[in-house]
Structures are given as structure tokens and as C-alpha cells.
Amino acid sequence: MNILIKKAQIVDPSNKEYHLKKHDILIKDGIIAEIATDIQTGENIEILEKDNLHVSTGWFDSSVSFGEPGYEERETIKHGLFVAAKSGFTDIVLNPNTNPVPDSSSDIVFLKNAAKESATSLYPLGALTVGAEGEALAELYDMKNAGAVGFYDYKHPLKNANLLKIALQYNQNFNGLVHSFPLDKQISGKGIVSEGEISTKLGLKGIPHLAEELFIARDLYILEYTGGKLHIPTISTAKGVKLIAEAKKKGLDVSCSVAIHNLYFTDASLEGFDSHFKLMPPLRTKEDSKALIAGLQDGTIDYVTTDHRPMDIELKRVEFDNAEDGTIGLETAFGILNQLFDLETLISLLTKGRERYGIPTPKLQVGESATLTLFNPEPEFTLDTEHILSASKNSCFIGSTLKGKVYGSIAKKQLIS
């Protein structure tokens, strides 16, 4: 792959030499060969020019679901990774919520092999417990050796505190990363939305903030006792941010993430009973959203995620109470975040987090492999289903105004645009 990118504004806050400067970038055989203000080249070089072209290192998402194996009608690995590449993501962490769930080394090998030819790299999580049933630890060490970058019973909280204790202790033998979804099912009960004024007004059963915060506090106490590495995915409350900030001040090895929709929407969006807004964790208050954004800005929350979760149409086009949780988000990530943060902060958020999973961080420098995202931060448009490439169309952002256009990405000697 030989490409000459012309007149691109480089956005790379970690690179003072090129940051916010307009340069040509020459890529030969997948390697960045030259970066200069004006590069002249001969034949057999593809010229890439776009309106208001901006370039950054490739984006990363720590929480993506597809469907294969078991739910291929929702999304296959091949097509899902193509959508990710078109959306600017060159590396994604795949959630273990397929059928069967990946709880053995052979399952991890299957997922890795299915993604080999794609431009976007796939890093699978293995289930923390056998069948994600929360009863016994899965083959964690074998999965780690096969390529699993962490362990997670996706959206299933670990009700057995002792099992989490053992998992954190055991994973220290091989530097494993344990995920724990924060939800106390005994407190949440049959709740489906955030408990508060909106849930009462709509007559929907609520999930108290306490249900999330109790488990965050529990998990942090266990981590303080055991040591190890803990990741708390997709937090949604202001108190949760505070609890994690306090744990980090103690020196605990904990990280956390937040889903983009919990930054952008609040429970006020539920008033139309649109099942696209049935999410887990649920949409919270404006005060929670503000605290989550502030947590990203001050580093308490380590990274932002799409929490991309395709769903069959028949699982969403039902009464709100009976609909499945989840929204897709890869294609809308940039257009939403671009309204919440300045461009430098936004690109920092979209490119950080790999280190937590032991994934190499690409560099926009001569001699490095070209792992780049191409975009224009200016255009605005209203999202419609016709803009969605994903096999499933269950997006809570349909009808929202997006700012910015992603042209695609370059990775593993492929241009996807």
C-alpha cells in the first residue's frame, strides 16, 4: 500500500513537532516514510485528498459487541470490523457476549482468526466465569495465553464477592485485567430505567443510583484487600465518579469507562417511550452527565466507549418494558463527542486506553506503521438510518445532529474509506 496524503491537519497532542500543523504524509508499504509540508512523488502512489482533511493516530474503543458466533444476524465479525474501520476505529476490544460465550482458549483463537484479514484489529475479552454464569472462574490463564486482553461477564454483575476476590488474586500471577459490571441486582430489582422524577412520571420501574454505587464501593474495598488490576466498565453516576477518584488517590490499580450515550442523553429522553433509549446502565440525570464529562476531563474516568451493542429489530420494536437493552454507537462516536469536547481533548479521548489492555499504541512518526484516522471536524448533519452501515440499526442517536465526518482509516496496509 503506497499512499500520499495531501495537506492534512495533524491532530496529535502527544507530538509537538506535528500537532495542529498541515503536512503531507507519505506511506510506503504500510510504513510512514515521510512527513513534510510538500512531498512530491512519482508514479504508483495513490493520492489522497479530502475537504478539510484532518489526521490523527487510529482510534480505540474498549467496549464493542458484534454477534458472531451465535447472533450473526446482528453483526458478523468481518462486517463489524469494516464498520469500525469506516468509523475511524483501528483497534477494538470485543465483548464476550456471543453464543456460546468465549470461556476457553479455543474460543479466543476462533475470534482472533476471524479478524485476521480486517484492517481494524480485534482484541477479545474472555468470560470471567464459565458460561458467564457467575459460579466458577473460566480458563483465565489459558485464554490470556491465547490472546484475551481481559476477563468480563458482559453486563452480568458478580453477585459473589468472594469470586471477585479470588479472580483478582489469581490474575496477579499473569497480569490479567478483571472487569466487574457495577449493578446490585437486589437493589435494582425489576427496574428498567433510572429511578427519579422521570421514572415516576412515566410509570416505569426505576433503578436507584445506589444499585451502581454499592457495587463500585464493594469492588474497590475488595481491590484494596487483594491488589490486582480492576476495570469498572460504563459507570453512570456522579457518586460513582467520586468513589473511583478516592480509590485512585489511595493508589489502587483501578480504571473505568463511560458510554458516550450517558454523556449526551439524560433520562428526559425516555418521555417518548422509544426503546432505543432503553440502555444498561440506564440514562441518568443532567447532573450525572455533567459529572461524567468532568470525570473524563480530569482523568478520573480513564476512557470513553461507544458500548456498541447491535440488537435484532424484533428485540427493540416491542413495548418499552420488554425491549432489550443496548444501542450501536461506532458510527456516531465522533459526531457526538465533537459537540461535547474541544478537538484536542476529543482526539486524546479517542486514542487513549490501549495500554490498560496491553495493546501497542500507534505513533504518527516516520518509520512507524501507518495506523491513522481520517476526518473532517466541521460538517453537520442529522442522523438517519440511511447513514448507518451496521447490520443492526438500533441507534439511540437517530434524529440527533452530528458534527463532523469520518472519512475512514488506514491500518494493517489497508485504506478503508
Q: Are the beta carbons of 23 and 54 closer than 8 angstroms?
A: no
Burial of 172 (0-12, 13-18, 19+ CB in 10 A): middle
Strand partners, 204: none
Over its C-alpha atoms, the chain yields an Rg (Å, rounded) of 21
Residue indicated by cell numbers 490523527: 56
Per the annotation, the verdict on 91 as an active-site residue is: no
Q: How far apart are CA 313 and CA 383, in angstroms?
A: 18
Helices (H), 15-89: 77-86
Catalytically annotated residue among 12, 61, 219, 307:
307
Cell numbers for 167: 479472580
- Spatial strand order of the sheet with 121-124 comes to 59-64, 89-94, 121-124
DSSP 98-157: SSS---SHHHHHHHHHHTTTSSSEEEEPBPSBGGGSSSSB--HHHHHHHT---B--TT--
Cell matching residue 293: 464529562
For residue 219, is it left (φ>0), alpha (ψ between -120 and 50) or beta? alpha
Say if CB 221 and CB 276 are below 8 A apart. Answer: no
Catalytic residues: 307
